[in-house]
Structure 1
Amino acid sequence: MDNYHITKSEELWTLVKKGAQRASKTAPTKTEITAIASEFLKDKTASLKIHKEDGTIQEERTFPRAADPRKSKG
Structure 2
Amino acid sequence: MADDHHRESAQFDRLPSTPAVSIASHAQIMSFERSGWDARTLTVHRLHNILAAQRKEKSMPIDKYTLHKDSDTEKWRLEKEGSDKAKRTFDRKEDALKDLKHAVGPNGGSVRIRKVDNTIQEERTYPRSKDPKSSKG
TM-score scaled by length of structure 1: 0.85
Equivalent in the alignment of 1:56: 119
Q: How does 1:12-51 map to 2 (within 5 A)?
A: 12-41=75-104, 43-51=106-114
Aligned partner letter, 2:83: A
1:41 Cα shift? 2.5
CA distance in 1, matches of 2:135, 2:83: 30
In the alignment, structure 1 residue 9 sits paired with structure 2 residue 100 = no
- Deviation of 1:70 after TM superposition, in Å, equals 2.8
Q: Give, in angstroms, the shift of residue 73 of structure 1.
A: 8.3
Q: Structure 2 unaligned segments of length 5 or more: list them.
A: 1-61
Shift of 1:13: 0.6
Q: Higher relative contact order at CA 8 Å, sep ≥6: structure 1 or structure 2?
A: 1
TM-score of the two chains, using structure 2 as the length reference: 0.49
- Bigger proportion of residues as strand: 1
Query: After TM superposition, where is structure 1 displaced by more than 6 Å over at least 4 residues in a row?
Result: none
Q: What do residues 28-54 of structure 1 show as CA deviations (whole Å, max 9, x unaligned)? A: 110111223221225223111110011
Identity between Structure 1 and Structure 2 (%): 39
**Taking structure 1 as reference, are residues 28 and 42 closer, same or farther at Cα in structure 2, changes over 3 Å only?**
same
Q: Looking at CA atoms only, which structure, 1 or 2, has the larger radius of gyration?
A: 2
Taking a change above 3 Å as real, the CA distance of residues 42 and 65 of structure 1, as seen in their structure-2 partners, is farther
Q: Which has the higher helix share?
A: 2
Count the aligned residue pairs.
74
CA gap of 1:22–1:42, structure 2 versus 1, over 3 A, is closer
Return 5+ residue gaps in structure 1 as ranges.
none
CA distance in 2, matches of 1:27, 1:38: 14
